[in-house]
Structure 1
Amino acid sequence: MVNHVPAPPRYGAILLTMNDRPEDFPRALDSLLAQEDVELEVVVVGNGVVPAQVPDGVQAVTLPENVGIPEGRNVGALALKSEPELLFFMDNDAVLPAPGLLASLAREMAADARRAYVQPRIADPDTGVTMRRWVPRLRAGDPERAGTVTIMAEGVVAVRRDAFEAAGGWPGHFFLYHEGVDLSWKLWDLGHTGHYASGHLVHHPATDPSRHAVYYRLVARNRVWVAMRNLPWPLVPPYLAVWVLLTPSRVRGVAALRTWLGGFREGMRGGWGERRPMRWRTVLRLARAGRPPLV
């Protein structure tokens, strides 16, 4: 009797670089290349730069200008020469502390045929703290509680390639912020689900996204775009109203609020791209999963 050993899961992994993290980037890449029990193809995309510190065997793609994170990741996925079953998107300052992480995420994906994406738990390497924005559900008080989720923290996530392509990939024109909400909702509308695999850990420094000058503008603009692209028309006004009401208590100062409102107005003027509203059945599924598409 012949024992058939299952083939290792095949991954295509994409990292972006602007050559501005000469210490973090090699650590991130080394931890990725150290993964065991998987077939792995890695693509590094230089967003407006020629990628530096890329070892032999890793494909480097140079973009003449910075096209933003979601479009850079789309470019990386298209550049894959193999046909992997899974895609792994990873920030270039994240580290995979266990060499079996990708294999574990593949098993989590295979545990339920409906799953299109699996997100590990992200924690700061020094403090062990998992920031609220890294927990892909409303009740984020216990970051170690696993389960079905309706959005993702897109900085470290595994996605089934066939589902990713059917959803149209990341919304490239978002440049930065909320692209994970857009992709998650599209995957759910295709009949899939997402899973938060909190038992599998990734390290990522707990930085403040508002350090970026464009943060408040793009967060507001893309919040509008997410709604316009994905929600049935009756849900668009209440979704946007919720964020208009919540934002004054969340932003830091009058200047930041003014920038946020400017981004909100920019989003309302258009530019969101193709409108593909989710089915009402998807709205119900999202609500049953604990996060109706209103917050």
Structure 2
Amino acid sequence: MVNPSTTVVVVTWRGREHITACLDALAAQRPHRTIVLDNASDDGTAALVAAHPSAPEVLRLPRNAGYAGGLAAVLPRVGTRYVAWLNDDAAPERGWLAALEDALDAAPEAAAATSSMLLADGATQSVGVALTADGHGRDLVLAGRDVFGFCGGAALLRTDRLAEAGGVPAEFFCYYEDTDTAWRLRLAGHSVISVGPARVRHRHGASTHPGSPLFHRWNERNRLLMLLRCAPSAVALRELARFAVITALLPVRRGVPDAANFRVGLRLRVLGEVLLRLPAVLFQRARIGRRAKVSRAEVWRNWAGR
């Protein structure tokens, strides 16, 4: 048997209700290696994975390290040319992996390829990620556009370029680890491509709960950490200041949306977590800058607000 080109990493936590569909779909793909990273599931997921006929390799952590932490834990074990990130609630259609591998084989300048993520009703969730004018990562739903980054729920990356760019930010736990990685790949002079035929059906929200306080805490915190690590300093400081000012004004504003990310307590916690991590983040920023072949300003100018 020819050695596979790709290791598919499936990170799971309490995935009993949906991981079987993911593994079944992977079994129909081009030959590859599968590693399931079990984030200390306590719902029977481990037994379900162990009994699956595809016999995936399993790495079980003693505690839940989140999606980012799980990916980071597996990366040193990946010896293939490519590594795929795949949500445990995503089921790739037949030909998914072949389409991604063939696309990267044909585009040596690209470090990552992103899939077409489809919701259960067939609507498009993401064909890649755009960078907004205020530094958010935003899912693109129209095919044919250039993408800044990839959706980490179903993507293929060159293993060596990922490692050279600093790997996966494990401390993010969940959310923005993909956009942060795309930033660093762009700074290293690489591109990211969108591969329309690589289709994945995604049970959005099966693993996490978008809109929950935890979702907004991780989302807001990690966006700021990403900007402090990767963006031009003026942009990072502007967005941190904007977040702090909005937080301070919320108690006196009228018509504040009834959403968790507009709760003062949650936003103060985000600011506290960012400030607590600031010394480490500034060290990371310097290291990222030393690796960069393209300036932060150029990446921002080329992609922000497109």
TM tier, shorter chain? Answer: 0.7 to 0.9
- Equivalent positions of 1:130-169 (< 5 A) are 130-131=124-125, 135-137=128-130, 143-169=141-167
Amino acid at match of 2:190: H
CA contact (8 A) 1:68 1:176 kept: yes
> Are 1:93 and 1:205, in contact at CA under 8 Å, matched by a contact in 2?
yes
- 2-side partners of 1:130 and 1:25: how far apart? 21
**Kept in 1: contact 2:25–2:92 (CA 8 A):** yes
CA distance in 2, matches of 1:41, 1:142: 29
Q: 1:171 to 1:61 in 2, by over 3 A?
A: same
Note the 1:46-195 alignment, pairs <5 A.
46-49=38-41, 51-54=46-49, 55=52, 57-80=55-78, 83-98=79-94, 100-125=95-120, 127-131=121-125, 135-137=128-130, 143-195=141-193
Q: Are 1:43 and 1:60, in contact at CA under 8 Å, matched by a contact in 2? A: yes
Q: TM-score, normalised by structure 1?
A: 0.82
Q: Is the 8 A contact 1:146 1:195 kept in 2?
A: no
Residue 21 (structure 1) aligned to one of 15, 37, 53:
15
Residues 1:257 and 2:271 are matched in the alignment:
no
What is the CA distance between 1:200 and its match in structure 2? 2.6
CA contact (8 A) 2:232 2:300 kept: no
Secondary structure of the corresponding residue to residue 112 of structure 2: strand
Q: Which moved more, 1:187-196 or 1:251-260?
A: 251-260
CA distance in 1, matches of 2:225, 2:210: 20
Aligned counterparts of 2:256 and 2:148: Cα–Cα separation in 1: 23
Q: Residues 97 and 201 of structure 1 are in contact (CA less than 8 Å); yes or no, is this contact kept in structure 2? A: yes
Q: Which residue matches 1:3? A: none
Letter in 1 for 2:203: P
What amino acid is the match of 1:201? R
Q: d(CA) in 2 for partners of 1:251 and 1:200?
A: 37
Q: Whole-Å Cα distance in 2 between the matches of residues 25 and 167 of structure 1? A: 30
| Secondary structure class of the residue paired with 2:71 | helix
Q: 1:120 to 1:47 in 2, by over 3 A?
A: same
C-alpha displacement of 1:269: 3.5
Give the secondary structure class of the aligned counterpart of 2:178: helix
Give the counterpart letter for 1:101 in structure 2: W
**How far apart are 1:257 and its partner, in Å?**
2.7
- Name the structure 2 match of 1:200: 198
More helix by share: 2
Aligned to 1:236: 236
Q: Distance in 1 between matches of 2:72 and 2:106?
A: 27
Secondary structure class of the residue paired with 1:195: strand
Measured in 1, the distance between the counterparts of 2:218 and 2:177 equals: 11
User: 1:182: Cα distance to partner?
Assistant: 1.1
Change (3 A) 1:135 1:194: closer
From 11, 24, 27, the equivalent of 2:6 is 11
Unaligned runs of at least 5 residues, structure 2: 133-137
- In 2, Cα distance between equivalents of 1:220 and 1:229: 14
Distance (whole Å) between structure 2 residues aligned to residue 279 and residue 191 of structure 1? 6
Q: How many residues align?
A: 278
CA displacement at 1:245 relative to structure 2: 8.3
Q: How much is the aligned-residue C-alpha RMSD, in angstroms? A: 3.1
- How far did 1:123 drift? 1.0
Other-structure match for 1:35: 29
Aligned-pair CA distance for 1:255: 7.4
Pick from 233, 242, 266 the counterpart of residue 273 of structure 2: 266
Change (3 A) 1:61 1:8: closer
Moved more, 215-224 or 200-209: 200-209
Find the aligned partners of 1:250 and 1:104 in 2 and give their Cα distance: 45
The 2-side partners of 1:250 and 1:90 are apart by 36
Q: What is residue 135 of structure 2 aligned with on the other side?
A: none
Does the 8 A contact of 1:124 with 1:206 survive in 2? yes
Q: TM-score, normalised by structure 2?
A: 0.79
